[in-house]
Each structure stands twice: as structure tokens, then as C-alpha cells.
Amino acid sequence: MNIIACYKWVLDEQDIKITTGSLALDTSRAKGKISEYDKNAIEEAVLQAAKSGAEVSTLTFGTGKAKASLKDALSRGPEKAYWVNDEKASTADGYVTANVLAAAIRKIGSADLLLFGEGSSDVYGQQVGPRVAALLEVPAITFVSKFEIQGDKVVATRTLGDSIEQVAVKLPAVLTLLPEINKPRIPSLKQVIGAAKKPMQEFKVADLDLPAAAVEPKTKVKSLLGFVMKRKNQIYKLDTVEASVQALVAGLAKDGVL
């Protein structure tokens, strides 16, 4: 059995600053990382493989910058890393990304189980996993908080807004995972060193036999601006707690919310 965990190499949002005035995003100090929920996907692939004896590989679609992700991904336990390295990733929307990943999976050959995070920690588009399933014509189970491989089936628990449901599908299948499914490991030094010896394979979009229209985004970013809330920012740090509380209560009463 083969499991492929897909991930996105993203900018760490904690390092992004909003430029005062223009509200433009300053990403000059932001480092790359594997998107948080995708770390859960890689971890889960490795945990499941330990039980079922499956082989785990990873797949990402990114620009040249995503090269740094390959060793990180492999240090988390998978045996092989695939990378579609193309500048088109910088403007890709969910439509393009899913087309590219699905084509790459066909190129790689067989995958019995494909795991995705429920959304990326940068744009949080929440669509690539179920799109890939539809393109490959395999079932998708989204928002999975727990699952088990039982022979040629996977039985999964979905945590949805109003209910928890248990469903089963025949493999091959796509699962998108909620972060509560596991705690991703912090790779040990030995795992990091070991990762360098594992195989990596690079593709270009041109290798994937996709029509030109399949890599032309359907949604285009017009502007991306820092979100600033206009708030009163009245912070009390008076001599006594009572004085601060009284000032607060007076303010709330004036605003008509008490």
C-alpha cells in the first residue's frame, strides 16, 4: 500500500508584518515552513504506515523556494519526497494546484491513500484535497478527526459543525485531516540527518501533460492588505485594581453595552 501526504510550503504568518499606512504585507522577514495542518497529514501518514506497513511519500507543488521543504518533510518519517517545482505555483489558486497535484499523482503511479491538511495556514483555501479526489475520481472524506485502515477500506470519523459522523469508503481515497488528529513530531537530529539520504524526485509542470488552461488560475488576487481593526485601545493600568475596573465599567456604560 502507498500513502502520499501532500503539503504546501508557506510563509510563517507569525513573521509577517503589516506596513503602517499602506497596509501592505511585509514578508521580508518571514521564513518558510510546512503548512501547519499539512504537518498533521505527514505525521498521520507515517503513524498509519507503522500499523499497516504502507510506504509513505510526500508531494508538494511549489516554487524554487520549496526545495527547503523536502528535507523537512523527509525528516518527519516518509521514505520519498516528490516536488513539482514551478514558478506557476506563485500565482496558483486551488483550481491550478489541484490540477497539478492530481496530474503529478497520476505520473507517480499508484496511491491508495492521499492525505491533506484541511486547509493551508497561509491562504486557507480549504479545497485542494476534495478537488484532487474529484479529479482522480476517488471518494473524499473531509474534516477527519480519526481514521483506521481496515483491509481495503478506510473508516473515518468526521467532526463537522453540527455533528460527528462515521463513514467508510473503499480505497483508494482522499482524506483531509483536522489538526486534532495528532501532534506532529519535532524531528530529532538523527531524523534530520537521515532525511538527506532519502530519495527526492522533481517534476516541472511541463512534465505533467496538462493543457495550458489547466494551469491558468480562475481566481486572481487583486489586493492583499493587512487587516487592521479600528479599536479604542484604552488600556488601564491604574494604581489599584478597583480604579481600573471603575474606569472600564464607566466606559462600557457609556458605550451602552452594560
Partner 1 sequence: MAGIWIYAEEQSLAKQLLTAGKELAQKINEPVVAIAIQSDMASALAGAGADKVFHLQAKTDWVENYEKPIAALLQKEEPSVVLIGGSLRGKALAAALAADMQTGLVNSALTLSYSDGAIETSRIMYGGLAVCTEVLSQGCVVTIESHVFEEAQTGQAPGEIAAMEVSLESKVELIRVDPIVHQGEDLQAASTVICVGRGLNGQEDMKLAESLAQKTHGVVGCTRSIAEDYHWLPTEAYIGLSGQKVKPDLYISMGVSGQVQHVAGIRDAKIIVAIDTNENAPIFSAADYGIVGDLHEVVPALIASIVK
- Within 97-156, the residues that bind partner 1 by CB under 8 A are 98, 119, 121-135, 138-143, 155
In the bound state with partner 1, the residue whose beta carbon lies nearer, of 159 and 201, is: 159
Whichever of 74 and 89 has its CB closer to partner 1, that residue is 89
Q: Which residue has the cell 457609556?
A: 254
Q: Check residue 35 for interaction with partner 1 (CB under 8 A).
A: no
- Please report how close the Cβ of residue 127 comes to partner 1 at its closest, in angstroms: 4
Contact stretch for partner 1 (CB under 8 A) within 43-51, 67-75, 161-169, 198-206: 161-169
Cβ closest to partner 1, residue 78 vs residue 184:
184
What residues contact 163, with CB distance under 8 A and at least 6 apart? none
* Backbone angles phi and psi of 96, in degrees to 5: -65, -45
H helix or E strand, kind and range, residue 252: helix 241-254
- Residue 153 forms beta bridges with which residues? 150, 170
Q: Which is nearer to partner 1, 28 or 234 (CB)?
A: 234
* Contact string 57-96 vs partner 1 (x = CB under 8 A): ------------------------------------xxx-
Contact 104, 59 (CB under 8 A): yes
Q: Which amino acid is at 13?
A: E
> Which residue's C-alpha cell is 505555483?
89
Q: Is position 164 an interface residue for partner 1 (rule: CB under 8 A)?
A: yes
Instruction: Name residue 175's beta-bridge partners.
Output: 115, 141
